[in-house]
Amino acid sequence: MEKILSKHFNQVEARAIDVSIANGRYSRVAKALSMKPDEITSVIKESGLRGRGGAGFPTGVKWGFVPKGTQKPVYLCINADESEPGTFKDREILKWDPHLLIEGIIISSYALGCHTCYIYIRGEYNDEALILEKAIDEAYEKKYLGKNIAGKGFDLNVYVHRGAGAYICGEETALLESLEGNRGYPRLKPPFPAVEGLWKCPTIVNNVETIANVGPIIEHGAAWYKQWGSEKCPGTRLFAVSGHVQKPGVYEAANDIRLLDLIEMAGGLRSGRKLKAVIPGGASAPVLPAHLCDIKMDPESIAQAGSMAGSSAVMVLDDSTDMVSACRTLTDFFAHESCGQCTPCREGSPWLAKLIRRIDQGEGKASDLDLLLEITKNAVGRTICVFSEANAAPVQSFIKYFSDEFLARMKHIQPKRESLPVL
C-alpha cells in the first residue's frame, strides 16, 4: 500500500520547505488554483474523503454547505486540538510534514472562497506549534501564503492559535467560541458552523489529517484514492496504536484493515499475553472484548461490532488489565474535563467517577451497577454536545462485557493487578 501521509515521518530534514518542495509539497497548488473552486469540491466529494477527527462526516459534502454567494467572509479552521486520550496521529503530521498540511489548507481555502485560516492547536503541543509556525513563515517567504499565491490572484493568511488544554475545545463549536475569546462552551445547532460559525460567518472546521489528504487527492484524482479502504470510507488512515503492544506508534493503513492485523503491525501483544479488549477509537469509544475484535477498522464495521472509529486511537488491553481501574481512569478524565454547561454532564460525570472510584476501592455494592447504567441513560441525548455520551458509552460497555470484575471487586475479591493499561 502506498503511504499518502506518513511517507516522510521521522525525517527531520523533511520539515524544511526546500526539502518539502523536493518531496512534492506545493506542486498541487498551481493545478488547484487553475481549477474552479466547485471542481475541487467535486473531486473531494467524489473521492469519499471523510473527516478524520471523530465524526467521519464526508468532507466534500460539508464544504458544500457553505452558502453560495455569501457576502460574509468565509473561514477555515483546522482542528489540531487532538485531546482525545490515546490520540496522537495529527501530532505526527505537524511534527514531520507541516507543509503537507499547509498545502492542503491553501487548496481547501481556495475551494471554499476563504482568505483567512486559523489552526487551533492543542496547548500541550508546544514543540509542534513552533515547528508549524516556522513552516508557515517559510511558506510566506516562498509566496505560497499571503498575496497573489502562485500568481493566480488568490490571497490567504494563516494563523496559529494555541488552546489552553481543554478537552471540550476539540468539539468544533467550542473551538470556535475559544477562538473568539470566549469560554469553550459548545453551541446549540442549528445553525451549523458552515452557515454561521466564527463571528457568525460561514466556517468550515476540519481536522489536520483530513486536510492533509487534500493535496494528494487533487494530484492523483478520486479514483486513485478510492483504491484503498472500504466503499463507504475510502483511502488510508493514520492509526495511533497504544497500550499493550510491543511497538506503540502511528501506523498508516487502509481504512478497512483488520484490527488484528493492525495489532500485528504494532509488533503484536507482549510476550506470553493474550488479548483481552480493545478501545478502537479513542477514550470515548465503547470497549470491545477480544471475541469481538476480529473486525475491519472502517467506521461501518466498527459500528456493527458495537463501538466507533472515532479518532482512530486504538488502545490495546491484554489479559493483565484491571478493567475496573481502566474504567476509573476514563471516568476520572471525563469528570475533570466536563465544561459544566449542561446539568446531566456537569452533575453526572463526577457522579459516575465517584461511583466507579468507590467500586475500585472495594467499597461498592451490587446496586451500584444499576445506578451507573441509570446515570448514563439520563446523560445520552440530553446535552448540547456529545461529551456526556462520550462518557456514558465506555461505562456502559465496560459493565456490559466485564461486569464480573466489577462484582468481584464489590465482594472484596481483588483481581491480580500486574499492570494497568496505557490510556
**Domain residue spans in the chain?**
12-225, 236-318, 323-410
**pTM value surpassing 0.95:** no
Give the pLDDT band of residue 381 (cuts 50, 70, 90).
confident
**86 contacts 326 by C-beta, under 8 angstroms:** no
Give the pLDDT band of residue 160 (cuts 50, 70, 90).
very high
> Cell triple for residue 406?
466489577
**173 contacts 189 by C-beta, under 8 angstroms:** yes
Average pLDDT for the chain: 94
Question: CB-hemisphere CA count at 13 Å for 400?
Answer: 14
> What H or E segment, with its residue span, contains residue 225?
helix 222-225
Mean pLDDT for 354-377 is 93
420, pLDDT greater than 50: no
Edge-to-edge strand ranges of the sheet holding 154-162:
146-149, 154-162, 116-121, 75-80, 203-207
50, pLDDT greater than 60: yes
Mean pLDDT for 162-177 is 94
Q: Checking DSSP bridges between strand 146-149 and strand 249-254, what pairing results, if any?
A: unpaired
**316 contacts 278 by C-beta, under 8 angstroms:** yes
pLDDT per position as a tens digit, 221-279: 999 999 999 999 999 999 999 999 999 999 999 999 999 999 999 999 999 999 999 99
Q: What is the pLDDT of residue 352?
A: 95
> Which CATH superfamily does the domain covering 12-225 fall into?
NADH-ubiquinone oxidoreductase 51kDa subunit (3.40.50.11540)
**pLDDT: is 268 or 152 the higher one?**
268
> What H or E segment, with its residue span, contains residue 45?
helix 37-47
**290 contacts 305 by C-beta, under 8 angstroms:** no
Task: Tell me the C-alpha distance between 321 and 244, whole Å.
Answer: 9
Q: What is the pLDDT of residue 417?
A: 46
The fold adopted by the segment(s) 323-410 is de novo design (two linked rop proteins) (1.20.1440)
Specify the CATH class of 236-318 in words.
alpha beta
> Cell triple for residue 89?
496521529
> Cell triple for residue 3?
503511504
Give the pLDDT band of residue 412 (cuts 50, 70, 90).
low
Distances (CA, A) of 177 to 47, 121, 220: 31, 14, 37
**318 contacts 276 by C-beta, under 8 angstroms:** yes
Q: What is the pLDDT of residue 150?
A: 87
Q: What is the pLDDT of residue 366?
A: 82
Asked whether the domain spanning 323-410 has the same topology as the one spanning 12-225, the reply is: no
419, pLDDT greater than 60: no
DSSP string, 51-98: -SSSS--BHHHHHTTSPTT-SS--EEEEEE---STT--HHHHHHHH-H
Give the pLDDT band of residue 1 (cuts 50, 70, 90).
confident
Residues 17, 22, 24: CA angle, nearest 5 degrees: 95
418, pLDDT greater than 60: no
Percent of the chain with pLDDT over 70: 97
Distances (CA, A) of 190 to 20, 172, 183, 193, 396: 40, 13, 20, 8, 29
